[in-house]
Amino acid sequence: MQRIILFFVQNRNFLLFVLLFAVSFALTVNTHSFHQSKVVSSANFLSGGIFGLKTSITDYFDLRTQNELLSEENKTLRTLLSNGGQLSSNGVSDSLPLDTNYRFISARVINNTYSKTKNNLTLNRGTSDSVKTDMGVLSPQGIVGMVNSVSKNYASVQSVLNTNSQIPAKFKKSNHFGTLIWNAKDPNVVQLIEVPRIAPVAIGDTIVTDAKSTIFPPGIRVGTVQNFDRKEGDDYYQIDVLLFTDMTSVKHVYLVTQRDASEIRELEKIVEDAEQ
């Protein structure tokens, strides 16, 4: 106690100076609003900077939960989008999307290949999550493929980078449609064939999924036209489409199923059989 008082007495001038300087500084800042805003903003700069640093560290511990939350949210939003702004198709506000045309299931990719000619992905959802074959698989940026086999807890997806894959797609601007295939050359580029020569094709055109496909909802973005070619005398264009999805790093996907898909397929099968 003695030493504290001694310290104050010995440095009284300096302490008095600091005190009075602080008082006059406070008076100055309070008088001029410019000074006030500068002081408040530098206080914000300091505290904001330190908080920003802290969250950039603590955020890493939270990433898994956040990603799962975002995935769920995206699933809800996609349902809303595909069903015309309603979570349930008969207008009753229901938290369970039971009666909607398109249903989404979020999933994570646990295995992925993109360098073979027939590439498949494995997802961590299976029949116990009501995944069935022939469900479409979408990424946050575009399409990924379709489910070709399901086990109890996992599903195997035939990637769009697969020479067996044939997905109907169309031009966003003109609705001219074709089929997406892959020539096993570039994991970012698929080929759109069977586009008739009267279709207006330009580099940069967006390609989206077609309503013809019972697998994907229509209007899902697939990619942009990278270059196109039509040999003389050929009735169709050969178009290279640069995919929006980075197939080498896809992690969170959504499985989509159309409620009426089996009905449509059955109907089309009957007509095809009848015509043959």
Partner 1 sequence: MQNNETIVNIIRFLVLVLIQVLVLNHINFLGHINPYLYPLFILVFPLTGNKTLLIFLSFFLGLSIDIFGDSGGVHAAACVFIAWIRPVVLKYSFGVSYQLNTLKISKAPLLKQLVYIISMVLFHHLILFSLEIFNVSHILLILKSTLFSGIFSVVLIVCTILLFSKKEA
Q: For residue 160, which phi and psi values (nearest 5 degrees)?
A: -65, -20
Among 12, 173, 251, 259, binds partner 1 (CB under 8 A): 12
Shortest Å, Cβ 39 to partner 1? 9
Structure token pair of residue 51: 């908080």
* Nearer to partner 1 (CB atom), residue 14 or residue 61: 14
Instruction: Find the largest Cα–Cα distance for the chain.
Output: 109
Shortest Å, Cβ 24 to partner 1? 4
Give rounded-to-5 percent helix, strand, coil for the chain.
Answer: 35, 30, 35
* Nearer to partner 1 (CB atom), residue 32 or residue 54: 32
Shortest Å, Cβ 18 to partner 1? 9
Shortest Å, Cβ 12 to partner 1? 6
- Piece in contact with partner 1 (CB under 8 A), picked from 22-30, 129-137, 140-148, 261-269: 22-30
24 binds partner 1 (CB under 8 A): yes
DSSP 8-state class, residue 214 = S
* Nearer to partner 1 (CB atom), residue 9 or residue 92: 9
* Nearer to partner 1 (CB atom), residue 31 or residue 65: 31
16 binds partner 1 (CB under 8 A): yes
* Nearer to partner 1 (CB atom), residue 12 or residue 251: 12
Beta-carbon contacts of residue 176 (< 8 Å; ≥ 6 apart):
170, 195, 196, 199, 200
- Piece in contact with partner 1 (CB under 8 A), picked from 7-15, 58-66, 70-78, 123-131: 7-15
**Contact mark string toward partner 1, 30..69, x via CB under 8 A:** xxx-xx--x-------------------------------
Q: Which of residues 120-149 bind partner 1 (CB under 8 A)?
A: none
DSSP 8-state class, residue 89 = T
Among 17, 116, 185, 259, binds partner 1 (CB under 8 A): 17
Decide if 246 contacts 114 (C-beta within 8 A).
no
Q: Which of residues 222-261 bind partner 1 (CB under 8 A)?
A: none
Structure token pair of residue 111: 């295995």
The C-alpha atoms of residue 92 and residue 75 are separated, in whole angstroms, by 19
The C-alpha atoms of residue 112 and residue 114 are separated, in whole angstroms, by 7
* Per-position b or e across 193-221, b if 16+ CB within 10 A of its CB: ebbeeebebeeebebbbbebbbbbbeebb
Shortest Å, Cβ 42 to partner 1? 10
Torsion-angle region of residue 262: left (phi > 0), alpha (psi -120 to 50) or beta? alpha
* Nearer to partner 1 (CB atom), residue 15 or residue 110: 15
Which residues are at the interface with partner 1 (CB under 8 A)?
12-14, 16-17, 20-21, 23-32, 34-35, 38
